[in-house]
Structure formats: C-alpha cells, structure tokens
Structure 1
Amino acid sequence: MRRGLDHVVHLVRDLDAAGEIYDLLGFTVGSRNRHPWGTENRIVQTPGFFIELLQIVDPEQVPPDQPRSDGDDFFSFGAFNKRFLERHGEGLSMLVLEGSDPVAEKAAFDAAGFGGFETFDFARTARRADGQEVEVGFSLAFARDPEAPDFGAFTCAQKLPENFWSADMQRHSNQVSAVAGVVLVAEVPSRHQAFLETLSGGQVQRALNEWFVGQTPRGSIDVMTPGLFTERYGVPAPGTGELRLAAVRFHTRGAPELRRSLAARRMVEEAIAGIIVVPPRAALGATLVFELTPA
C-alpha cells in the first residue's frame, strides 16, 4: 500500500524561538504539547501533513533504546533525537509516512530487513485553536536503513484524527496550501532505493544518476547527492554524505509577497529563480522551499 507523507520532525534547542521563526515565515504555529519521555513539541499543519517542532526539555526523562536478544527492540523516540542533536545539531531529524495498520507495516519492514522494532502506541493532550483540550493518539511502526543508522523513519496512524487536524491551524498568512514533498541527500542515492520503497510502499525511480524520485499520495520523496542539492537549492546540504532529510517543499499562492517579506528580513536565498529557499542559517538547520502553486 502506498503511503503519503505524514510529517517531519524539526529538532530544535529552543521551541519558542523556533515558533517565532515559523511565525515570521507566515505559518500558524500550535501551542506547546508535552510528551511523557522528556520532549515537547509545537505543530505546524497543512492538509494531511505537519511539521513537528521538537525540543528535548528534560534529558533525564528520556528512556534509552532497549535492544533485546529474544524479540523486537524498543525504539526510543526521545533517545534518537537526543543523539541526533548531539551529533548533528538542529535540523530535520525524522521522516514519517502516513500509517494505517502498524502491525502490517511492521511485518513489511521486518520482511524486507528494515525493521526489528516493537510497534508503539501513545496518547497525549492537545490544545485546539479555540483553547479546548482534547486527547490525540498515535500508533507507530519504526523502520531503519542499515546503510544509514542516523536516519529516523516510521509510519504514524492517527487514532483520533478528528481531534488532531484543524482547519483553523491550516490557514497561513504565507498562503501555503499543501506539502509538495521532502528532499533527502545521500552520497549514493541508489543505496537507499529499496529502503525508501519499503517505507513508502511505492516506487522510487531514477531521474538522474544522482537523483531518485518517489511519488506518494501526498507529496514526493526526492533523494539526491549533496552536490546536486546545493546546485539546485543554493544552500549547503546537511551531513557528510550519509542519508539525511534536508528540505521540506511547500505549495503556496503567495510566493511573490512571501519573497518580498523574507528578503526584507534577510531570511531568503536570493540566488534561486522561480522558488523561495529559506536556508538552514535562517531556519535552525532546516531548508524550507516555497513553490508557486500550479495553476
């Protein structure tokens, strides 16, 4: 089954500062939410997709990974992001695909050699745009690429989607209407083709020797070499050649106005024609790309 993009994790050191940056970029940013494992988040929604701004607020509460010799390992979301921050700093740390059946998804990951983790269910309290507190819940199935141990990926199935998704939170002054895709970088993209096909449930095909593309029901997954990424977007690629999540692409009707606004704040890469690129130096280690919505 083909799976659409669900969300990405943007790991930051200061959640309020990150919220201010996304607000300057014209996004509506949700309030703080607390996890029981030492992290807090704020959510930026588009239809069916969101950015999870994440901060580790209490490292002492982060549970360790638990490798097991007699069964599936326990994957610690908090521990993964804590290590990522120590090794790589702020930036896009995890890619999440839309889930529907975590048991079946885990079985598919295991059969392909990309699994070996327990599924994970949890719930938390969320605050809606009108201030009402509601419960949201999620079921996760984790995947790992043996070629890329620092690349985090899982599927996420919503238990109470009516409590999570909010039309009010999807109205943005930058006129972003949808996610266009995500961009990954790797020194040898072909090494990760099988993993990304298993994760997404669809084909990831060669566009060029240095560039593979997979179309999902919600946005594309592009994986390209760091050099091609820099040539295309005019900004440095993260990492040193290992598989990394480098950029999120958005559709917007307000590209010209957004460019003028961000240029005045020196938050945009002026050298790129036809798109707006907010570089990692302005977006806490992430690259955010805004593209004019197709007619």
Structure 2
Amino acid sequence: MKQPVKGLDHVVVMVDGIDAAEAAYTKLGFQVQPRGFHKKLGTANHLMIFDTDYFEILGIVEDTEFNAERREWLKAGGGLANVALATDGADLAFEAFKAAGLNPDEPLSFDRAVEIDGKTEQAKFRTVRVPKTNMPVVGFFVCDHLTPQFVYRPEWAKHPNGARGILGVTVIAEQPTKWAPELEKYFGEGSTKREGEGLVANTGTQPIHYLSRKDYLARYPGVTPVRPGDHPALLSVRVENLAACEALLKKNGVKLLKPDSGRLIVPPSEAAHLTLEFAER
C-alpha cells in the first residue's frame, strides 16, 4: 500500500555562507558532495549522503520568490531548518495533507545537476510544502525523489568519520506536548507519546524529540542554542565507531563535548550553527 509519508528522507540545515559551511563539514569528517544549484529556487547545497537518508547544508545564492521565507529565517542565524519526509508520491501526500487540514502548497517540481562517472545528470524532485500556520516548530515538507539513483549512491555514503545515517532530530519547545495534535496530522493518530515532560514523534523511521529548553540544556550541557524561542536544535548522526570518530575530530581540531561515554557533541560554533550529536545507536 502506498503511503503519503513513510518516515524521514533528509534534513535541511540553512547556512549563512555556504563556502565556510562546506569547509566546516569537511573538517567534521564528512564526504561533502560537490555543490549543487537549484536555479529555480535560488539556492545552492552540499549533501552528506548516507545509506537511506541524508542531510544538506543549504545557502541562498540569488534572491527569488521561492526563498523569501528562508532569507527572513536566516536573519536570526542559521541551523536546522527543515525535515523532509519520504513519500510514495507528491500528489498522494498533497491530498493526504489537504484532508488532514494542513493547507499544503501545490506540488513544486525542480531539479539540480549532478556529475556521475563524468556525465552530467539531472536529479529531479517534487516537493509539497506546508505553511507556517501548520508548522509544529519544525518546517516539514515532503520530498518525492523522481531520480533516486542520482542521490543515493553507495560511493557517496562513505565518510571518514564513520557516519552511516541519521538517528533523529531534537526540537526545543517550551510546551512540548501541545504539538501532539498537529504532529499527528502528519504521522497519523497515535504517532506521538510523552517522554517525561517531553514528546516524541514516530515518523515511521527516525524519531523527532521535543524537549523544553530546561531539559535540552540538561541533556546537552555546555551547549548554548543559537536561536531564541522554540526551534529545531540538534541532529543526531549514527557512526560505526565512536572512538574512531572522536580521534578523527580531535585530529582535525574540532571542539567537542562528551557528556557521557556514548555520545559526542559538536557545538554550533563548529558546524555552521547546527548542534551535532554523534553516537553508535
């Protein structure tokens, strides 16, 4: 059975200065893909590809009607901006979101050039965006890959830091549980549950955790969130070997925090305003 939403596809990290962000993520031990351009959207990106998901750093290179909201968002600093959801079809997702009362935009088609084996190909997508009025702190949208063979390639999923995939996303929200009804419009009835005073949303794959600022600071001591108020704050990444990852990052001169033996935290100053968490599971 085809599904309008079937988990997390990728995460978007907005950066104010894509050259510096590219250098920062190379220093963090990722295989950073060559820059791609979305001519229609006026944006450029670099991808960190994993086996079944990825994250991208995205910057504005030309002002267009499609990036006005992103330009406004960047005025308060960069960081984790969006979670893209996997789907069996943009049209299917559009109809499901409309029925759920999420007021989605019509599907938008765009592409970007990628070079594969010396040949230029066009990676093509259709996305469905949801307006701010229906945003449970996170800016969700659906991403329908029309040419997944030009995105998910095993040779691109090999990273010096041993990264293998996304473990989850953490959101700062002063009233975490108030977002449950809106989240269930995306992920279905019963897809959220309380975690202490927080909330976790089951996307179908990786979870999205909602924590109050107080609980966030307790879980990530020494990390100062870049943005005020409620916002997506942290991306957790799975690595094959945490000790090897730590050794590489230290060798590269990356400042690290180690709240316990099972986690490494990279503060926003080292990752273009994103807080990164590395763990084996």
TM-score, normalization by structure 2: 0.90
Among 225, 228, 231, the alignment partner of 1:237 is 225
Structure 1 residues 197 and 24: CA distance shift in structure 2, 3 A: same
What amino acid does structure 1 have at the position aligned with 2:72?
R
Give the gaps of 5 or more residues in structure 1. 64-75
Q: 1:149 offset after TM fit, Å? A: 8.3
Aligned ranges 1:116-195 → 2 under 5 Å: 116-128=104-116, 130-144=117-131, 146=133, 148=135, 151-195=138-182
Q: 1:159 & 1:108 partners in 2: Cα distance?
A: 19
Q: Any gaps of 5 or more consecutive residues in structure 2?
A: none
Q: CA deviation at 1:110?
A: 2.2
Match of 1:43 among 43, 47, 51: 47
Change (3 A) 1:168 1:155: same
The residue type paired with residue 180 of structure 2 is Q
Stretch deviating more after TM superposition (91-100 or 253-262): 253-262
Q: What is the CA RMSD across the aligned residues, in angstroms?
A: 2.0
Match of 1:5 in 2: 8
Cα 1:147–1:103, aligned 2, differ >3 Å: closer, same or farther?
A: closer
Does 1:267 find its partner at 2:246?
Answer: no
CA contact (8 A) 2:187 2:204 kept: no
Query: What count of residue pairs does the alignment treat as equivalent?
Result: 274
1:204 aligns with 2:202: no
1:238 CA displacement: 4.5
Deviates more, 1:49-58 or 1:189-198: 189-198
Q: How far 1:198 moved relative to its partner?
A: 2.3
Q: Secondary structure at the match of 1:47?
A: coil
CA distance in 2, matches of 1:237, 1:191: 21
How far apart, CA to CA, are the structure 2 residues paired with 1:236 and 1:79?
A: 27
Mapped to 2, the partners of 1:206 and 1:238 lie a distance apart of 26
Q: CA deviation at 1:105?
A: 1.5
Q: Which amino acid letter does the alignment assign opposite residue 272 of structure 2?
A: L
Amino acid aligned to 1:21: A
Aligned to 1:70: none
Amino acid at match of 2:57: L
Q: Compute the displacement of 1:124 (Å).
A: 2.2
SS of 2:102's equivalent in the other structure is coil
